[in-house]
């Protein structure tokens, strides 16, 4: 038996591989899954390429953004799919649980990576007396400014004492 030639993963930047990574990311595939393929670089190598090649960073960022839209589409598809049934015609509870897990995982991931687009919208409203605007008099404003300045002076004095 002859010795097997070991073929390593690419570590030098390769435009064709970079393009394939971006294409697969834009299709919603994870970088982790992409890097499992034998012809792909390891994840730390991809990170190094992102730092060293601004054009790849730009393409990668855009591909990730498109991939998030694909995942958002998957959330809708998962929600719209009818659950499987058992031989007796009853709804398959295991299938329902699996779909819920897939739905929730994608929804959570989207809300963390793109909270402005896919996160829960929260707002806070500050109102004054009787639901009107918050009002502050010039005297109150001057007192607050004086308190802020005094606190800053005290911190400066404390810092000077340490020197």
Q: How far is it, in rounded angstroms, from Cα 75 to Cα 105? A: 9
pLDDT above 70: percentage of residues in the chain: 94
Split at pLDDT 50, 70, 90, the class of 2 is very low
Q: Which pLDDT belongs to residue 22?
A: 98
Split at pLDDT 50, 70, 90, the class of 161 is confident
Domain ranges of the chain: 15-118
Q: How far is it, in rounded angstroms, from Cα 5 to Cα 31? A: 27
**Range 6-27 average pLDDT:** 88
Say whether domain 15-118 belongs to CATH 3.30.870.10: no
Q: What is the pTM of this model?
A: 0.63
Tokens of 110: 């989207």
Split at pLDDT 50, 70, 90, the class of 108 is very high
Q: Which helix (H) or strand (E) holds 101?
A: helix 93-113
């Amino acid at each position: 038996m002859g010795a097997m030639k070991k073929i390593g993963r690419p570590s030098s930047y390769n435009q064709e591989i970079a393009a394939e990574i971006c294409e697969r990311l834009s299709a919603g595939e994870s970088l982790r899954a992409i890097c499992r393929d034998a012809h792909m670089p390891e994840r730390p190598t991809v990170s190094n390429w992102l730092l060293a090649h601004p054009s790849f960073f730009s393409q990668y960022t855009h591909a990730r953004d498109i991939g998030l839209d694909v995942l958002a589409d998957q959330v809708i598809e998962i929600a719209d799919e009818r659950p499987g049934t058992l031989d007796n015609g009853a709804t398959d509870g295991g299938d329902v649980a699996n779909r819920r897990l897939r739905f929730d995982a994608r929804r959570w991931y989207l809300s963390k990576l793109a909270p402005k687009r896919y996160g829960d919208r929260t707002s806070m409203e500050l109102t004054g007396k009787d639901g009107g605007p918050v009002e502050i008099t010039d005297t109150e404003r001057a007192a607050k400014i004086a308190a802020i300045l005094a606190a800053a002076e005290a911190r400066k004095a404390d810092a000077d004492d340490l020197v």
